[in-house]
Amino acid sequence: MARDRIVTPDSHATDPPERVGAPRPRKLEEFVGQPQLKDRLGIALEAAGSRGDPMEHLLLHGPPGLGKTTIAHIVAEEMGAHAYVTSGPALTKGADLVGTLTRMQPGDVLFIDEIHRLPAAVEEYIYPAMEDFKIDFTLDGGMHARVVTYNLKPFTLIGATTRAGLLTGALRSRFGIAHRLDFYQHGDLDEILDRAAARMGISLDSGEARALLAARSRGTPRICLRLLRRVRDYAVVRGEGIITAEMASEALRLEGVDDLGLDPLDRAYLKVLAETYEGGPAGLEAIAATLGEDSGTLEDLVEPFLLQAGLLARTRQGRQLTAAGRERAGCPGQDSPLFEP
C-alpha cells in the first residue's frame, strides 16, 4: 500500500524529470517560501561574492520534499558555478568522493543528499576537504606506506538530511551555516502552484482550485506539484483541460486524498487505533500487525504527518489519538468524517 502513496514527500516513480515538469527556480528571488533561509543565504552569497570566495558550507535538514536540492542548484547558479549532485549511499568508498572533488573548479558546489548515511571511511576524507581544501592519499602499505596530499580548489559543500540527529558531531561542526526547512504555508503553496501552472501550460480556473490543492498538500511543494499533475490529467480526460475547484475535488477524491491531505493508509491507521484499540495507547508493532504493514513504514511515512496535523500523540505507553484525532476518526460515541475521501 505504502509504495503507491501519492502523498508521500519522498521522490515518486511517477514524478517526471525536470525537463518535462515544472523547472526548478534558478535564482534566490524566484524561490518561494522559507523567508528566513532566503535572508541568510542572500547575505552569505553577497558577502562571499564580494570577497571572491566560495560560500560557507551549508547543512539543510528537515522533511523530504521541501526544496533542499533546489536550494543547492540556486546557490551554484548565484555563484556562477557548477553543481555536482550525489548522495550518501552512493559514496561507498573514499575513491568515489575523491574523483568528484578533484574534478571541481573554484567555487563549485558539491551537494550530498542524505549525508547522514555516509560511510565512516568516506566521512574521514570530507573533514580535511571542508576545512583546508585538501585530501590525503595513502600509497603502498606497511613500512613503505607514504601519504600524499592533494590540494583541492575552494568549493562549497551542501549537505542535506532528513535525520539530522544521525550526523556525527565532527561533521556537523564543520558546516558554517545550518538551517532547518519548515513546512510551507498555504499562501506560499498557492504561489508555487500559480508559477508551476504557468510553466506547465495548465489552466487553473480560480483561486479556489489552488487553495484546495494547497490545503491537501501537507505543506510540501513536492506533493503539491504531484497533485497538480494528477488533477491536470483528470481535467484533460474528463473535462476540457481547465482545472476548476469541482474538477480538482473530484480528481483528488478518485486518488483517495481527503480534505486534510490524508490518504487511505493514513485513514486506515487512524481507524485501527480508534476502533481496535479504542483510541490508544497502543504499541507501534501491534498497530503494524493489525494493518499488515511494516512498522518502519508507519513510523517514517505515516506518523510524521499525523503528528504534525495534531491527530496523533506518541506517549510512553504507545501511540494515542489526540482529541482532534478521536473526533476525526470517530471513536466510540463520536461521528466520523474520516473514512470517505
Cα(80)–Cα(18) distance, rounded to whole angstroms? 20
Tell me whether residue 222 is one of the annotated catalytic residues: yes
Tell me whether residue 69 is one of the annotated catalytic residues: yes
Per-residue cell: 309: 496535523
Tell me whether residue 162 is one of the annotated catalytic residues: yes
Q: Please, what's the largest Cα pairwise distance for the chain? A: 79
- For 88-100, the DSSP string reads GGG--SHHHHHHH
Among 216, 222, 326, 328, the one annotated catalytic = 222
Cα(210)–Cα(160) distance, rounded to whole angstroms? 29
CB-based contacts of 247: which residues, under 8 Å, 6+ apart?
Answer: 205, 209, 231, 234, 235, 238, 239
Instruction: Give the pairing type, strands 58-61 and 156-161.
Output: parallel
What is residue 120's three-state secondary structure?
Answer: helix
Cα(134)–Cα(150) distance, rounded to whole angstroms? 6
What is the Cα 85 distance to its own chain's centre?
15
Considering only CA atoms, which of 1, 275, 306 is closest in space to residue 287? 275
Among 5, 8, 69, 263, the one annotated catalytic = 69
Cα(88)–Cα(114) distance, rounded to whole angstroms? 5
CB 83 within 8 A of CB 72: yes
Among 162, 218, 229, 244, the one annotated catalytic = 162
Cα(259)–Cα(227) distance, rounded to whole angstroms? 13
CB 25 within 8 A of CB 71: no
Cα(112)–Cα(88) distance, rounded to whole angstroms? 6
Per-residue cell: 21: 515538469
Among 5, 8, 108, 113, the one annotated catalytic = 113
Catalytic residues: 68-69, 113, 162, 222
